[in-house]
Amino acid sequence: ISSLAKYIKSTGCKNVVLMLGAGVSTSAGIPDFRSPETGLYSNLARLNLPHPEAVFEISFFRKQPVPFYTLAHELYPGKFRPTITHSFIRLLAEKSLLHTCFTQNIDTLERRAGVPDDKIIEAHGSFAGQRCIECKQPYDDEKMKEHIFSMKIAKCEHCGGYVKPDIVFFGEELPEKFIRAIPNLRSADLLIIMGTSLTVYPFASLAQRVDESCPRVLINLDHVGDIGSRADDIVLLGKCDDVVKDLCVELGWEDEL
Ligand code: OAD
Ligand code: ZN
């Protein structure tokens, strides 16, 4: 942690790129996906799925939208608060160190913490919009909210197809904005990966896109991907909030968290 703080202070790095996963929001009360026992995929028996990931598969949703709507009802943003880790990200932005925050999370807690919109790439989409899965016609925000809250399946007013929030499902393309931002990784002078198992592609491949000279930092409960294999990699095992708090003490930022 102290060598990371020293790197941030002494090199004056100004292009910090972040890669976030569900582990940054578990302390907000949102489960991650793959942690044994507590992860979402271990707790979906009530949805009677053929396999857990089916709830986020477009081919399954087309046949059976109810399981996803059940989950959407539980995970809908609004009741969860940003964590210390989200405050740290806001601080990076306030101090003009943040280049891009790539997130796989659909909880919008980065925005709620005050990270500017133009710094955030929601690689797996969000609940911010929705459309018909057949004719792609957008659907009204308020009506969608009403449907999710009352657990009714929203149907397209044009073709009758099911309506789905703009969350990227398995079998769907990632947003244009994500694809366009990939070349930015070349200008990163520090990559911090937090709370992700790095198992879902193409997101996980971002970690390979930074220059060899760019240190990669992993803050996670366990080792993931190949982080640790390069000479400049730093692996900080622990809870994001704890590691970030210690880092902020070293940086003299603890009062601003
Ligand atoms: P995962 O559940 O796969 O991984 C979360 C990682 O965070 C694991 O390595 C945990 O050990 C770690 N973790 C959990 N709590 C933590 C904490 N407090 N501090 C530090 N680490 C912690 O979640 P993601 O990698 O985000 O996609 O999953 C990627 C994608 O898979 C999701 O975006 C979602 C899912 O299917 C879609 O729905 C399209
Ligand atoms: Zn339609």
Q: Where does the pLDDT of residue 13 fall: very low under 50, low under 70, confident under 90, or very high at 90 and above?
A: confident
Alpha-carbon span 66 to 60, nearest angstrom: 10
**Contacts (Cβ under 8 Å, ≥6 apart) of 164:** 61, 65, 68, 130, 131, 133
Give the ligand at the shortest distance from the Cα of 131.
2
Which residue has its alpha carbon closest to ligand 1 atom 13?
Answer: 23
Quick one: which atom of ligand 1 is closest to the CA of 22? Answer: 26
- 31-82 confidence digits (pLDDT tens): 999 999 999 999 999 999 999 999 999 999 999 999 999 999 999 999 999 9
Tens of pLDDT, residues 72-81: 999 999 999 9
Q: What is the pLDDT of residue 184?
A: 87
Ligand nearest to the CA of 225: 1
Give the three-class secondary structure for 234. Answer: strand
183-217 pLDDT per residue, tens: 989 999 999 999 999 999 999 999 999 999 999 99
Atom of ligand 1 nearest to the CA of 105: 33
pTM of the model: 0.97
Catalytic (active-site) positions: 124
**Mutate-to-test residue for ligand 1 from 83, 104, 206, highest number of ligand atoms within 8 A of CB:** 104
- pLDDT score at 12: 75
Residues 209 and 182 sit within 8 Å (Cβ to Cβ): yes
ipTM over 0.95: yes
- Listing DSSP states for 97-146 in one string gives -EEEEEE---S-HHHHTT--GGGEEETTEEEEEEEETTT--B--HHHHHH
Taking the centre of ligand 1 as the mean of its atom positions, its distance from the CA of residue 21, in whole angstroms, is 5
26 C-beta closer than 6 A to ligand 1: yes
- What percentage of the chain reaches a pLDDT higher than 90? 97
Ligand 1 atom at shortest distance from the alpha carbon of 104: 33
Q: How large is the average pLDDT for residues 3-26?
A: 94
Q: Whole-angstrom distance between the N-terminal and C-terminal Cα of the chain?
A: 17
Calculate what percentage of the chain has a pLDDT beyond 70: 100
CA 111 – ligand 2 centroid, Å: 30
Asked whether residue 90 carries a pLDDT value surpassing 80, the answer given is yes
Q: Using the mean position of ligand 1's atoms as its centre, give its distance from the Cα of residue 70 in Å.
A: 20
Whole-number pLDDT of residue 19: 98
Give yes or no for residue 235 having a pLDDT over 80: yes
Give the pLDDT confidence score for residue 36 in this predicted structure.
Answer: 95
For the Cβ of 44 lying below 6 angstroms from any atom of ligand 1, the answer is no
Nearest CA to ligand 1 atom 35: 33
- 174/153 Cα distance (integer angstroms): 24
